[in-house]
């Protein structure tokens, strides 16, 4: 089991005097009352209504079967592409600048001097950290290392 605030949700909850001091501000900020019974009853009612709605829809749903007390769902098919997707893609493509990837790498190298050794890996120049497939595609070769 993981430790820390992510693994233990109650690890950083306030309690005792610290909660008593913070409770009025927290409850006001969340729009809650000091006694949770009413709020919990409202949530329980909403949950029950959702359960009843789902249960009522099961007999008429062809994608759902109950076999041996287990719920079996049919696989969903591929959704149709939204009708606004092609114009959206065209709009985005029109907004992107046209450029040559190898030229872009060379320009970035010139402007940032990323052929100098990196502080995190002094033995290997940053230029070699670029995608090897992009380097192979562009004909870019690994720079010689000194030493």
Global pTM reads: 0.38
Please report which confidence band the pLDDT of residue 60 belongs to, taking 50, 70 and 90 as the band edges.
confident
Tens digit of pLDDT for each residue in 63-90? 888 888 888 888 888 899 999 999 999 9
Mean pLDDT, the chain, whole residue set: 76
Residue 92 has pLDDT above 80, yes or no: yes
Torsion of CA 47, 53, 58, 63, to 10 degrees: -80
Please report which confidence band the pLDDT of residue 132 belongs to, taking 50, 70 and 90 as the band edges.
very low
Strand positions, DSSP E, 9-94: 64-67, 70-73
- Residue 128 has a pLDDT of 44
């Amino acid at each position: 089991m993981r430790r820390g605030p992510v693994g233990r949700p109650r690890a950083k909850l306030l309690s005792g005097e610290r909660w008593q001091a913070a409770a009025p501000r927290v409850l006001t900020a969340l729009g809650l009352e000091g006694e949770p019974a009413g709020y919990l009853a409202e949530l329980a009612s909403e949950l029950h209504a959702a359960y009843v709605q789902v249960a009522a829809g099961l007999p008429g749903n062809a994608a759902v079967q109950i076999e041996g007390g287990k719920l079996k769902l049919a696989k969903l098919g591929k959704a149709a592409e939204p009708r606004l997707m092609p114009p959206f893609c065209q709009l985005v493509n029109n907004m992107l600048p046209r450029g040559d990837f190898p030229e872009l790498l060379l320009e970035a190298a010139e402007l940032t001097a990323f052929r100098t050794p990196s502080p995190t890996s002094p033995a290997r120049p940053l230029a070699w950290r670029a995608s090897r497939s992009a380097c192979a595609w562009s004909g870019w070769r690994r720079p010689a290392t000194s030493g």
